[in-house]
Amino acid sequence: MRNPFDTDERRAFRESVARFVKQEIEPHADAWDEAGTFPWEVHEKACALGLFGFGIDEAYGGNGFDDAFMRCACAEELGYGGIGGVIASIGCRSIMVGLVAGFANEDIKRRALPEILSGRRGGALGVTEPSGGSDVAAVQTRAVRQGDEWVLNGSKTFITGGMHASHYVIAARTGAEGGAGLSLFFVDADAPGFTRSALERKMGWWSSDTATLYFDDCRIPASHLMGEQDKGFALAMNNFNYERLFMCAQMLGMARRCMDEAVAYAGQRRTFGKPLIKHQVIRHKVADMSSRIDAMEALINQICWLVNEDRMPVAEISKAKFFCSTALEFCANEAMQIFGGAGYLRGHPVERIYRETKVMAIGGGSAEIMRDLAVRQMGL
Ligand SMILES: Cc1cc2nc3c(=O)[nH]c(=O)nc-3n(C[C@H](O)[C@H](O)[C@H](O)COP(=O)(O)OP(=O)(O)OC[C@H]3O[C@@H](n4cnc5c(N)ncnc54)[C@H](O)[C@@H]3O)c2cc1C
């Protein structure tokens, strides 16, 4: 079914992302995942398409306009590629550039944004700590003002892109306990007192780098405070909305890929004298997958429409996040089942997606936290 919100521009953008994924990423997906890394030039090629510059001025290397439908078309086509590790690594800049554009000082914006948005350098967002990620208001990393510097002490973990990033947005405590005492900081990877180490052997996203970051009397200029002191919690929360919407669209692409692969396989695989697709149980699996995919798309379209109207539908986004991760888990599971033993072998997109469903239900706000948030938004 044609998306009723499509325009020529949106369609052309979507096609350019799909072409990029098919030509530049998919042929290498298995090799890069097994290697646990991929060439840096992929960042530059992806960024050259303007994938992450929405809502950011051209003066800083951005696209000069915003469109939620295009953001989501990008995420969906990347997700359809079926290699989440590459998407996580190139896409992690998208969860920090909006904060930099909105709240870093002019010098940082002019210096760092063009580097990050062109793909020459990486950027990462550090919120989660070894002590926990769900309760953002409980961040323990501390920043203390000393003269014309901030001194950071603490640690962040599970930071996507953290090993290769040159620039970070870091949440740290500058005031009292709770959300009202948090601030955001811009930290360069060469800041004194900053080190990092790799988190290895993940369940999925093998080709992405994930880091633990350490701040030991890490000194950054006073001007690297982003926005107002102690007002970082609200900035981080608003930023999560875009991350979650991006993830929903990525999950839509992943679910679609599962269904398409399963349908293609069921068309040629024969059991009991006929193609699998002619067995009613398999046909029902396809119907169940397809209905969930339609629902995901409808939800995402509705949210995009609202975001383009300058309304940030927090409740709808949190509901969509857990709805999409549950729907994706269903589609990946059914697709794997249709493949039978063939799906159990490493290197197939469905096998990769199956391993990557879990992180979509945890990262960017877990399914439990999303349900909590949705109900709170209902005033309960
Ligand atoms: C591969 C990967 C990449 C990531 N990338 C980044 C990144 O780039 N930047 C970043 O900052 N973070 C990142 N994260 C961290 C991610 O955001 C956190 O893992 C997530 O927020 C959950 O935090 P936690 O793992 O500490 O779990 P916890 O907060 O310890 O929670 C554990 C479990 O308990 C549940 N739970 C917690 N509180 C409640 C409650 N009140 N009621 C019911 N259930 C509850 C949670 O949903 C979860 O299932 C990444 C994580 C992974 C796995």
In angstroms, rounded to a whole number, what is the distance separating the alpha carbons of residues 245 and 301? 10
Kind and range of the H or E run holding 195: strand 194-198
Dist. CA 365 → ligand 1 center (Å): 6
Ligand 1: which residue has its CA nearest to atom 35? Answer: 368
Kind and range of the H or E run holding 143: strand 142-146
In angstroms, rounded to a whole number, what is the distance separating the alpha carbons of residues 47 and 118? 5
* 32, 19 Cβ separation under 8 angstroms: no
Q: Quick count: other Cβ atoms within 10 Å of Cβ 190? A: 7
**Residue-wise pLDDT tens digits, 291-337:** 999 999 999 999 999 999 999 999 999 999 999 999 999 999 999 99
Q: What is the pLDDT of residue 56?
A: 98
Q: Give me the phi and psi of 42, to 5 degrees please.
A: -65, -35
**Residue-wise pLDDT tens digits, 126-144:** 999 999 999 999 999 999 9
Q: Give yes or no for residue 146 CB within 6 A of ligand 1.
A: no
Which CATH number, 1.20.140.10, 3.30.1330.20, 2.60.40.10, 1.10.1740.10, labels domain 234-377? Answer: 1.20.140.10
- Regions in the chain scoring below 50 on pLDDT: none
**Residue-wise pLDDT tens digits, 335-373:** 999 999 999 999 999 999 999 999 999 999 999 999 999
The residue to mutate among 128, 185, 359, 373, having the most atoms of ligand 1 within 8 angstroms of its beta carbon, is 128
* 127, 236 Cβ separation under 8 angstroms: yes
Q: What is the pLDDT of residue 2?
A: 73
Specify the CATH superfamily of domain 8-118: Acyl-CoA dehydrogenase/oxidase, N-terminal domain (1.10.540.10)
The residue to mutate among 92, 366, 372, 376, having the most atoms of ligand 1 within 8 angstroms of its beta carbon, is 366
Task: Please identify, by atom number, the ligand 1 atom nearest to the C-alpha of residue 128.
Answer: 11
Task: Please identify, by atom number, the ligand 1 atom nearest to the C-alpha of residue 205.
Answer: 1
Dist. CA 257 → ligand 1 center (Å): 26
> pTM here?
0.98
Among residues 179, 184, 99, the alpha carbon closest in space to that of 135 is found at 179
Locate the domains of the chain by residue range: 8-118, 123-231, 234-377
Kind and range of the H or E run holding 8: helix 8-20
Q: What is the pLDDT of residue 105?
A: 98
Give me the architecture of the 123-231 domain, per CATH.
Beta Barrel (2.40)
Q: Quick count: other Cβ atoms within 10 Å of Cβ 166? A: 15
Q: What is the pLDDT of residue 1?
A: 64
The rounded radius of gyration (Å) of the Cα atoms in the chain is: 21
Task: Please identify, by atom number, the ligand 1 atom nearest to the C-alpha of residue 204.
Answer: 1
* 154, 142 Cβ separation under 8 angstroms: yes
Q: Give yes or no for residue 92 CB within 6 A of ligand 1.
A: yes
Task: Please identify, by atom number, the ligand 1 atom nearest to the C-alpha of residue 160.
Answer: 8
End-to-end Cα distance, the chain: 37
Among residues 159, 94, 79, the alpha carbon closest in space to that of 352 is found at 79
Q: Give yes or no for residue 199 CB within 6 A of ligand 1.
A: no
Q: Is the fold of 123-231 the same as that of 234-377?
A: no
Dist. CA 251 → ligand 1 center (Å): 18
Q: What is the pLDDT of residue 91?
A: 97
Q: Give yes or no for residue 359 CB within 6 A of ligand 1.
A: yes
Kindly state the tokens that stand for 57. 């001025």
Task: Please identify, by atom number, the ligand 1 atom nearest to the C-alpha of residue 134.
Answer: 29
